[in-house]
Structure 1
Amino acid sequence: MTDKPLGRSAVYTVLTTGYTTSTGPGVAATVSYVSDRDRHVIVDPGMVAHRDRILGPLAELGLGPDDITDVVLSHHHPDNTMNVGLFPEAWVHDHKAEYRNDQWTDRDAEGHQLTESLRLIRTPGHSPEDITLLAGTADGVVAFAGDLWWRPDGPAEDPVAPDRDDLRTSRLRVVAAADVIVPGHGGAFPAGEGVPL
């Protein structure tokens, strides 16, 4: 069985490329926009220098905050969640449920499909609650992996990971499913040889 989504109709844009060299100060999330069919998804609307770093590129795509239907949180660290409130109409997805206004619906993220081209999988490692959004695009599968990798160079040894074995297992799972990886705080990179595991 494969984790790859069956569909290949999603498209994505990295709205802002994050950065970090350690656990602060000066950290910004990589925030992405993914669309498929009638779904408009923001991934990890976390810390940025100013919210215009998220809303400006989104406006260039012809979209405003109320157009966003879904927000995916790879995990619950503030640097990846700080700006979730910018999207008041969205369903918010995490490892165990989806939320909107006063509605809370329990469901496991593992295998949950937003569309045929957008699938969530559990990928614990950086935190026990990590999830990855796999997006099937015309050019292959893109994994929005949160902080399984902070940047293209890793770090190979995540200093805050509670379980190194879980981290490696999840990284291997993502590499097997994806062609491109979007990390939590850096630019997208190919899921090929040389990826820190």
Structure 2
Amino acid sequence: MTNATTDAMTDATADAPLGRSAVFTILTTGYTGSTGPGVAATVSYVHDGDRHVIVDPGMVASRDRILGPLAELGLGPDDITDVVLSHHHPDNTMNVGLFGRARVHDHKAIYENDQWTDRDAEGHELTPSLRLIRTPGHSREDITLLAGTTEGTIAFVGDLWWRPNGPVDDPVSPDRVTLRTSRLRVLAAADVIVPGHGGPFKADETAPV
């Protein structure tokens, strides 16, 4: 392991939220075999205090794949206070309009109704248990939501990993070195990773980097 890699992983240990009160549910588990037809996003719900957060409300076979599981939790679209977009690819953003009352967070701003508030996502906290960090690599604007729970830190990474097996070499990544650096940062901060198009997996030495 190089000094640069060690430094990146050491710095990332400070990324995990101090709070541990968040809870999460995977509303729908996504899938993709390539960048071509047949793709669905993994859409997640995170709750902490008065925040009801949807992560990456992207492409799905039917909106019921999002709204149905949410209704089972006793929630409707208007109950969602925040939406986090890991990046701006349509397969991860397609259904953001379902949540018309929510604040929308991306890498550079918060959007609410007709208000656009510039802010850097790096280190921005929605609550003490919910923190955003910049994790470019799949695209230049990638961010990760780190959620502190009683079971550890959950990282909602968008397409930093598409699914548990990678791909190791992301075919749309503009910068493979940056991708690996961001992956190492997340691995140092998290216990579980929720990828953009697959189920959760452990943030350990088995994760592809």
Same fold per superposition (TM over 0.5): yes
The TM-score normalised by the length of structure 2 is 0.94
| Counterpart check, 1:68 vs 2:87 | no
**How far did residue 131 of structure 1 move?**
0.0
The size of the alignment, in residue pairs, is 197
**How far did residue 101 of structure 1 move?**
1.1
Question: Equivalents in 1 of 2:129, 2:46: separation in Å?
Answer: 10
Which residue, 100, 105, 113 being the options, matches 1:93? 105
Structure 1: where are the runs of 5+ without partners? none
What is the letter of the counterpart of residue 101 of structure 1?
A: N
Question: Equivalents in 2 of 1:42, 1:110: separation in Å?
Answer: 19
| Counterpart check, 1:137 vs 2:149 | yes
Which has the higher Rg, Structure 1 or Structure 2?
A: 2
What is the letter of the counterpart of residue 15 of structure 1?
A: L
Question: Equivalents in 1 of 2:63, 2:193: separation in Å?
Answer: 24
The TM-score normalised by the length of structure 1 is 0.99
* Superposition RMSD in Å: 0.5
Structure 2: where are the runs of 5+ without partners? 1-10
Describe the SS at the equivalent of 1:148: coil
Give runs of ≥4 in structure 1 deviating > 3 Å: none
Which residue, 58, 65, 70 being the options, matches 1:53? 65
**How far did residue 38 of structure 1 move?**
0.3
Question: Equivalents in 2 of 1:181, 1:21: separation in Å?
Answer: 19
Instruction: Name the counterpart of 2:121.
Output: 109
What is the letter of the counterpart of residue 139 of structure 1?
A: E
Which residue, 137, 145, 149 being the options, matches 1:125? 137
| Counterpart check, 1:187 vs 2:189 | no
Describe the SS at the equivalent of 1:15: strand
